[in-house]
Amino acid sequence: MSPTRLTDRRVRGALAAIATAVALAGCKKSENPPADTATPAVAPAPDTTKPAAAASPAINDAQIAHIVVTANSVDSAAGMLAEKKGASKAVKDFGKTMVTDHGGVNKQAVALVTKLNVTPEDNDTSKQLKSGGDANLAKLQGLSGKEFDKAYIDNEVAYHQAVLDAIDKTLIPNAQNAELKATLEKVRPAIAAHLDMAKKIQSSQTT
């Protein structure tokens, strides 16, 4: 059987939640309208945050691999910016850790797909993650000082929460290959730790 056709359609609905959450985080501060150049796929739709992702979607391993690599790269890119533009030491350090950690996870993911001879397959979720990440970067580029720190950390909290939910509800349950599943299970604590760290910084920021 050929799972690709079917899954490609389903993955969109199931994982759109990640991109939506990220886009929402990006749009949170409404006084700073996001760049108009952002792709229409992520900019609107503030009304579809219902956690529908639990409804057993089908998604193949090649797509999961692509989502993992994309999600890591998106957060690495934001981390690099925070390392450079962050105002507080906490934000700079956090950004640096994101670059290091997501780089480490991606190295592992690439090693695994190479070993399994899987070619990561682009899909709507990856595309949305990428365009959401680009919109976030564009927004952050225009900010500085405390505004930058707050916007960056707010997005990091929302992003890691969304990725954690996706790992638990979609990626791990659908991974077919045992090693891919094990890798996802090993990545999970990293995302959970990052979420805790980001929340801690966030709470120290909000007076």
Partner 1 sequence: MTIKNFAFEPAELTIARGDTVVWSNTDFVPHSATARDSAWDSKDIAANGTWRDVPGKAGRYEYYCVLHPTMKGTIVVR
To which residue do tokens 């409404």 refer?
30
Beta carbons of 80 and 99 less than 8 angstroms apart:
yes
Please provide the DSSP assignment of 123-177 as one string: -HHHHHHHHHHHHHHHHHHT--HHHHHHHHHHHHHHHHHHHHHHIIIIIHHH--S
CB of 148 to partner 1, least distance (A): 21
Secondary structure of residue 188 in the 3-state scheme = helix
CB of 27 to partner 1, least distance (A): 28
Task: Give the span between the Cα atoms of 96 and 177, in whole angstroms.
Answer: 32
Work out which of 97, 177, 202, 205 binds partner 1, going by CB under 8 A: 97
DSSP state of 52: G
Q: What is the contact mask toward partner 1 in residues 175 to 204, using x (rule: CB under 8 A)? A: -----------xxxxx-xx--xx--x----
CB of 182 to partner 1, least distance (A): 12
Window of 62-70, 101-109, 148-156, 160-168 that interacts with partner 1 by CB under 8 A: 101-109
Those residues whose C-beta lies under 8 Å from the C-beta of residue 1, and which sit 6 or more positions away, are: none
When asked if residue 104 is in the footprint of partner 1 (CB under 8 A), the reply is: yes
Window of 33-41, 42-50, 102-110, 173-181 that interacts with partner 1 by CB under 8 A: 102-110
CB of 200 to partner 1, least distance (A): 7
Window of 5-13, 77-85, 94-102, 135-143 that interacts with partner 1 by CB under 8 A: 94-102
CB of 204 to partner 1, least distance (A): 12
Question: In Å, how far are 32, 100, 163, 187 from 136, measured between CA atoms?
Answer: 12, 20, 16, 23
Beta strands in the chain (DSSP E): none
Work out which of 107, 142, 144, 179 binds partner 1, going by CB under 8 A: 107
Residues at the interface with partner 1 (CB under 8 A) = 97, 100-101, 104-105, 107-108, 186-190, 192-193, 196-197, 200
